[in-house]
Structure 1
Amino acid sequence: MAASPQQRFQVDLAGILSVLSEHLYSTPTVAFRELLQNSTDAISARTSLQPAHRGAITIEWIDDKESPTLVVEDNGIGLTEDEVHLFLATIGGSSKRTGKQGDREKFIGQFGIGLLSCFVLSDEIVLITRSAADEDAPAVEWRGRGDGTYHVRALETKHPAGTRLYLKIKASQTKLCSPRMLKDWFSHYGEYLPISIELHAGGQSGRITNTEAPWDNGGLPAMNQKAMWEAGTGYFGSEFIDMVPISSAKGGLAGVAFISVQSRSLHSKPRHRLYLKGMLLSDHTEGIVPDWAVFVNVLANTTKLQPTASRESLMEGPALDDTREEIGDCILAYLRRLAVSDEAKLAVIIQTHHLALKSLALEDSDVLHFFAPWFQFETSQGRMSFEEIRRQDSPRYCISVDRYRQLAPVAAAENRCLINAGYVFDAELMSALAAELPDLGLEEISAMSFTDQLGELATGKAHLFEDLVEAAAAALRPHQCRVEARHFQPATLPVLYVQNDAAHSKRALEQSQEDADGFFSSLLGDISARFAEDAYHVCYLNAANPLIQRLTNVKDRQRLLVITEVLYLQALLLGQYPITSKETRLLSDGLLQLIEMGVSTH
């Protein structure tokens, strides 16, 4: 079968223009940015040919009720008629990307589609341009329309080198073009461009560009400290602990990282305000700092990182990866300087942003050694820094919050240092620190190994507790819980209940089983049964407790059964273990029985 002749795609140019101008960008106001970008790049191209040239952009708002018009004029490189056909009538054609206007790194735009955003504001773009590179070339008028058609004609009248663009604003977009809105939006995008930009609107004239920036861009001097701080708080609407100068040679980036006064989740996405060669790229840029640096807001300018086609975010790649790493190095170097110059401020930063810094410390042993002494942990002897923990004798840590809360009173009473490592990253940190500092004797402790250290009963007194232990064992046999009598502190604690991981999982499954429907209840029951063989429950009666001592003299076995079951259930509650509805009923019934027994004795 003969192959069919080669065919070409049929392109709906008007539809393409609609997609590019109305859907590529997040807001119609980016048309103002694209206008500034094209003019700025044209000036950069002319400066490459004429280094002494001083670029300028003039924006004028003609507030004609019948035909309101925005005029943007620059004294940049301009275009010849051939270049107009090549670049303005070819979607994706760009003199900056092809290299026809000099070093592409000097330009903001690269994709040749920015001018199309103007169709959001106007149905027709009128552009008059004359090339500064070809003195004999005449001025050219180009009219482009949203239906995909255009017209070009050479002009006989004299025009200065550069470009003047006219937009008749659509009725639906005039709200964006009041004098105040124009000043706000052109300032928003172009405030830090290193060229003169003047706006004439509403009978008033004013300069758009600022004379200072948060970085030295070769054209504007860097802001002073006070102005920089005000810029950060104004842009990000927040208070900060401090600000850190940042830079990246790989990304051509310079700016400031503001350290938040508020703690942030590791999953938060902080706002960063990033400029590209002085033009605002986005005030919601993501991915410019390492993942751990969630506690900073960055205000910076880059001259090397590449934007996406919409110029609202950055292209991923090795250069951006290197930039993140260099910014992270700047922040870490600042924190190391604080350790020498301002320990109080460093302590505040680490306390506020400990989660982010702990996650970083787990990735780098050098960082771990630096930050570890400052990290704070809950212990049985009060809140301590790791530096203080290092001075304790044989510190131990618990990887479960509930288990820690159960064992902490005993550890505190016996003057043992038990660390709560049940919070995010703490268990991993303790394990890493134990490996890095083997002489410290830092070890994880389970409930079972902890209770192995509980005091044994004196030989001459063990027999006094035999009947009580036997009665308690009978009462707790349905709960599959062993009973032992030990001597431990605090003496105010009558019973200590402990379980291993298998028992903990089994109990949690049993509680979930109560709330599940028939199918899932049966499924959870099967899973729970798998833990039964390895489950280990022990209820320790405290021989140092006055109540337990008095119970050794109780001869009424039924009374002992009820009392020990109530004490067991109370121990579950004190240990913050989940209890089933059946156990809740048992506790209620047991308390009622004790009341009746108390009443019946009078």
Structure 2
Amino acid sequence: MSKVTTIESKVCVAGVDLNGLMQVLSKHLYSTPMVALRELVQNAHDSIVRRRIEQPSWLDKGRITVIGDRQNKQVRIIDTGAGLTEYEIHTFLATVGVGYTRQLRQKDDETGLIGMFGLGFLSAFVLAKQVTLITTSYQSTGQTWCYRSANAEQYTVTESEPRHVVGTEIILDLKDEFLFLSTQESLNKILGRYCILLNEPIYINDAKEAINPESPPWRKKREDVVVHPLQEQRQCLSFAARFEQNFEPICTFPVIPDEQTDVIGMLWVQDGATYGTSDNRNLSIFLRGMLLDDDARDLLPSWAGFIGGVIESNRLIPTASREDLQKDANYYAVQHALNESLINGLATIAAKQPEVWRRILKRHNEALLGASLCDERLFQLLMDTIKIPTSQGDLTAQALVSSHTIHVMLGSHGGFEDTLFRALQVPVALGDRYAVVPFLRRYTLAKKYKLIELGTEKGNQHLFSLADLPANDMEWLTKVLADGEDIVIARFMPIELPFVVVIDREAELKKRLEEDETDKKISQAALRLARQFTAQITKTSMVKLYINLNNQAIIELLQAFHASNPQVEGAVKLLKSLKIIMSGRDNQNQALNLNQALIDFTQAVQIILKLS
């Protein structure tokens, strides 16, 4: 005869409203209700592990089968685990927050058991309008129990016909909104994502091959499987490609446990090109073989925007949803371990796989330029090979050195600095590009070179040697050549350049911060710091016209002025047009119209031709 037990859980004694708890589970605890399917497969996994612990004589291979029954609107999860006695159903299955798995883990946390919070079975009610559990315990193989409930608050336990097969079957009568879970495609996608590293094989429907058929590369090493290095590289790249959704992995390197953490796995470099601010980090974390989080990018260094990875750990502590991690000492130990693995891995690739290293540098040069400032080892690794954007294309820092000096322009490409150094035929670094200035400051300090930051008062002092002219000459030059710029008489190279319009980049920054409406988007703290710097800049003019007394055209222009030469008007018009054309993007004065300059240039040529 069947024995029927009807129980109404009086969990309200502990102050728990099960209906409210189900709302938390379904709408707040799990980021997606599909995670509930993971919880049930995890329970099946733990049941098999438990059986191995408590029944040492059982040496069979465990098995988990998940069946989608579209016709009957069901999903069934079947395992060959330890099963449950009637007492265990009441004590552990139907009691909120009480789990037998947790008790076992408290005795020995190295068992491979996953469960911790005693909430896993409740997740079934997120998906199902009725849950049925049929179970036979290894402790009493002649008894089979059937648990059935529609809301987890009231349930029945019925003794059924013995099936003499140890294990448990859970039947979910799916809610309408989750009927898609009964398709093989959905089951493959969800469980293939969450359960790929579980040791116990998982089969979908009548598939002959498990969704988790082989161990990841790092486990094979622990199993003393001897693999040729080239074959190992191919296996690692193939494994990484299963997790890297958007890019092809270029290379991989291992994450190895140390004294501080048990984290193990692999990281890889993505093949897609990046900018300095690109963030394509992705990291999948498996806790005891079960996917915990596939977007744990914060565990990777912020500079590693081109890195993906898969890791697993038994020490990380999940939140109740097991979709995030508690940020404790273990979390930060893993964060440190990944940083070290990444730096060591890049160094190894650079030393042993130069062709791969060249690909990495080509695709992630700008990101690595910024990364080199985050760790001295990275800086040493990259300082002689990383490329710097310059007025002559991307060059190594060493290629920028001229007479033990490197020049960097703080303004945008096309400014006076570009004009000046194009005339000198010397490359100049583009300081408005990502990480260029701080990298060159560090580089020149390490190499004992001089860095001249063009556009600053100090930097300009290295370029221009100040000279004097009589007051009437200064007044005349200002009148005929200046358009609001301050005239500065100097001597500089190359002598072929008659003058150059120089923007004071520090004053330009001050003006931009004071006038730009986007100030409102800057945090007040950051804005205060910026203004503390710019408050020290008291320049009244941002633009100076440096006139080169070494230039023959300027010398003869002054001689023509003194001699009242009638051709001086044409020469002035020609030089002033040249100034406007040369000033390019540094043309801050709206009066300096390029079209008018071209007209004046043409007229000046005509005047000269007529006079000749």
- Secondary structure (helix, strand or coil) at the match of 1:332 reads helix
CA drift of 1:123 comes to 0.9
Taking the aligned partners of 1:478 and 1:510, their CA distance within structure 2 comes to 24
Mapped contact 2:407–2:451 kept (Cα < 8 A): yes
**Amino acid in structure 1 at the alignment position of 2:249:** F
Sort the Cα spacing of 1:120 and 1:308 in 2 relative to 1 into closer, same or farther, 3 A: same
Residues 124 and 332 from structure 1, CA distance in 2 versus in 1: closer, same or farther, beyond 3 angstroms? same
1:208 paired residue number: 211
Instruction: Tell me the residue number matched to 1:579.
Output: 588
2:303 aligns with 292
Q: Distance in 1 between matches of 2:350 and 2:539?
A: 52
Q: Which residue among 541, 545, 549 is the counterpart of 1:539?
A: 545
TM-aligned CA deviation for residue 394 of structure 1: 2.0
- Alignment partner for residue 248 of structure 1, among 257, 280, 284? 257
Which runs of no fewer than 5 residues in structure 1 stay unpaired?
1-6, 517-526
User: What's the CA shift string for 1:50-86, capped at 9, x where partnerless?
Assistant: 3453342342537473x34332222222333333223
Residue 302 of structure 1 corresponds to 313
Map Cα deviations across residues 133-188 of structure 1 (whole Å, 9 max, x no partner).
x4499543322322632223445735443322122233432222123433443333
**Corresponding residue for residue 395 of structure 2:** 384
Corresponding residue of 1:497: 501
1:396/1:445 contact within 8 Å kept: no
> Equivalences for 1:9-88 in 2 at 5 Å?
11-51=16-56, 53-59=59-65, 61=67, 63=69, 65=71, 67-88=72-93
Q: Does 2:199 correspond to 1:191? A: no
1:4 counterpart residue number: none
Residue 466 of structure 1, CA deviation: 8.7
> Structure 1 residues 292, 226: closer, same or farther in 2, change over 3 A?
same
2:243 to 235, 240, 247: 235
Distance 1:566 1:368 in 2: 46
Q: In the TM superposition, what whole-angstrom CA distance separates every residue of 1:405-437 from its partner, at most 9, and x where no partner exists? A: 522443454466644444222222222234434
Q: Which moved more, 1:561-570 or 1:35-44?
A: 561-570
- Note the alpha carbon deviations across 1:64-117, whole angstroms, 9 max, x for none: 73x343322222223333332232222222222233785244222212212222
Per the TM alignment, residue 37 of structure 1 is displaced from its structure 2 partner at its CA by: 0.4
Contact 1:502-1:531 at 8 Å conserved across structures: yes
- Aligned-residue CA RMSD in angstroms? 4.1
For 1:84-99, list aligned pairs within 5 A: 84-99=89-104
Q: 1:507 to 1:193 in 2, by over 3 A?
A: closer
Aligned-pair distance for 1:216? Answer: 0.5
Counterpart code for 1:497: V
CA contact (8 A) 1:242 1:259 kept: yes
- Which of 384, 392, 410 is the matching residue for 1:400? 410
Q: Any conservation in 1 of the 2:407–2:453 contact (CA below 8 Å)? A: yes
**What is the rounded CA distance, in whole Å, between the counterparts of 2:383 and 2:536 in structure 1?**
40
- Is 1:279 aligned with 2:283? no
User: Aligned in 2, Cα 1:597/1:75: closer, same or farther, shift over 3 Å?
Assistant: closer
Q: Secondary structure at the match of 1:284?
A: coil
After TM superposition, give the deviation of residue 389 of structure 1 in Å: 4.9
Deviations 1:181-226 (A, max 9, x none): 334433333233222333434xx65533313423317789799543
Q: Using the alignment, how far apart are the partners of 1:531 and 1:206 within structure 2?
A: 72
Distance 1:384 1:69, change over 3 A: closer
**Cα distance, 1:441 vs. partner?**
4.1
Name the SS for the 2:252 alignment partner: strand
Could you tell me how far apart the structure 2 residues matched to 1:512 and 1:593 are?
Answer: 34
Of residues 44-53 and 204-213 in structure 1, the stretch that sits farther from structure 2 once superposed is 204-213
Contact 2:204 2:210 in 1 (8 A): yes
Segments of 5+ residues of structure 2 without an aligned counterpart are: 1-11, 521-532
Cα contact 1:138–1:156 (8 A) shared by 2: yes
Q: Which residue of 1 aligns with 2:5?
A: none
In structure 2, what is the Cα distance between the partners aligned to 1:443 and 1:494? 22
CA contact (8 A) 1:17 1:148 kept: no
Residues 15-24 or 379-388, more deviating = 379-388
Matched, 1:372 2:393: no
Q: Secondary structure at the match of 1:99?
A: helix
Report the TM-score, using the length of structure 1 for normalisation: 0.80
1:534/1:347 Cα in 2 relative to 1: closer, same or farther (>3 Å)? Answer: farther
TM-score (norm 2): 0.79
Distance between the aligned counterparts of 1:284 and 1:528, measured in 2?
40
| Counterpart amino acid of residue 35 in structure 1 | L
SS at match of 1:215: helix
In structure 2, C-alpha distance between the alignment counterparts of 1:139 and 1:109, rounded to whole Å:
24
Which residue of the partner structure matches residue 271 of structure 2? 261
Where 1:207 maps in the other structure, the secondary structure is coil
Separation of aligned partners in 2, 1:359 and 1:495: 36
Q: Is the 8 Å Cα contact of residues 393 and 417 (structure 1) preserved in structure 2?
A: no
Identical-residue share of aligned pairs (%):
24
Equivalent-residue separation in structure 2 for 1:474 and 1:499 (angstroms): 20
Measured in 1, the distance between the counterparts of 2:171 and 2:47 equals 17
Give distance in 2, aligned partners of 1:121 and 1:167.
8
**Over residues 21-52 of structure 1, what are the superposed CA-to-partner deviations in whole Å (9 max), with x where a residue is unaligned?**
34422333323322210011111122222345
Matches of 2:426 and 2:177, distance apart in 1? 74
- Relative distance call for 1:511 and 1:540 in structure 2 (3 A) is farther
